[in-house]
């Protein structure tokens, strides 16, 4: 990846997280990077292409997590789902923030990972594949709590976030926190 391309992605991630995808123009990104809009368009055909590249690694990691969780159930599924979700949310804090800022617009975009099926799969693993609406409510609360905390806790070091998010999620799910 060229240096200019990396700078464009970094700027776009920061601006999308601060102002939303809709609230950020290509000119905003170009100005922030210090290049012309034409130069930006040489690297990315449009704003959707930037968004797609920002979220591609998230989609790959989600698929990896889902693959690891597929054969698991019960306590093991819940613990591995918490660990995977916490790592994913920490690794991609800006992307989580971007999704939360423009959630209605971004969840259905074809260039983004299939968030609906991925989150359903994660919630299923978080609750240890247990049936029942009560379990799913707690699973959704846990998933959203991890995402919201990572999106807002930018100044908290990753290690503190990792420990506390894991402990809090396991506690919310009624699992031992040892």
Mean pLDDT, to the nearest integer, of 155-178?
94
Residue 155: what pLDDT?
84
Asked, for residue 177, whether it belongs to a domain, the answer is: no
Residue 79: what pLDDT?
97
Mean pLDDT, to the nearest integer, of 116-143?
94
Asked, for residue 50, whether it belongs to a domain, the answer is: no
Length of the chain: 178
Mean pLDDT of the chain: 93
Mean pLDDT, to the nearest integer, of 70-84?
97
Most distant CA pair in the chain, distance: 55
Residue 61: what pLDDT?
95
* 26, 107: one domain: no
Question: What range does the domain containing 132 cover?
Answer: 55-172
Q: How many domains does the chain have?
A: 2
* 78, 163: one domain: yes
Residues 78 and 143 sit within 8 Å (Cβ to Cβ): no
CA distance 137 to 75: 18
CA distance 58 to 55: 5
Q: How confident is the model at residue 4 (pLDDT cuts 50, 70, 90)?
A: very high
Asked, for residue 178, whether it belongs to a domain, the answer is: no
pLDDT over 90 at 91, yes or no: yes
Residue 122: what pLDDT?
95
Can you state the angle between helices 3-19 and 26-33, rounded to 10 degrees? 120
* 93, 146: one domain: yes
* 6, 88: one domain: no
């Amino acid at each position: 990846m060229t240096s200019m391309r990396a700078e464009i992605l970094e700027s776009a991630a920061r601006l999308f997280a601060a102002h939303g995808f809709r609230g950020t123009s290509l000119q905003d990104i170009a100005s922030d990077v210090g290049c012309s809009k034409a130069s930006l368009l040489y690297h990315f055909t449009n704003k959707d292409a930037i968004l797609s590249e920002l979220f591609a690694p998230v989609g790959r990691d989600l698929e990896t997590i889902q693959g690891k969780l597929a054969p698991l159930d019960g306590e093991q599924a819940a613990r591995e789902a918490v660990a995977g979700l916490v790592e994913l949310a920490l690794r991609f804090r800006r992307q989580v923030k971007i999704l939360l800022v423009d959630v209605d617009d971004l969840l259905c975009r074809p260039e983004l990972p299939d968030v609906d099926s991925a989150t359903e799969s994660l919630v299923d693993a978080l609750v240890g594949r247990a049936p029942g609406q009560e379990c799913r409510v707690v699973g959704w609360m846990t998933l959203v709590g991890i995402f919201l905390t990572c999106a807002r806790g930018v100044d908290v070091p990753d290690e503190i976030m990792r420990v506390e998010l894991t402990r809090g999620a396991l506690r919310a799910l009624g699992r031992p926190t040892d």
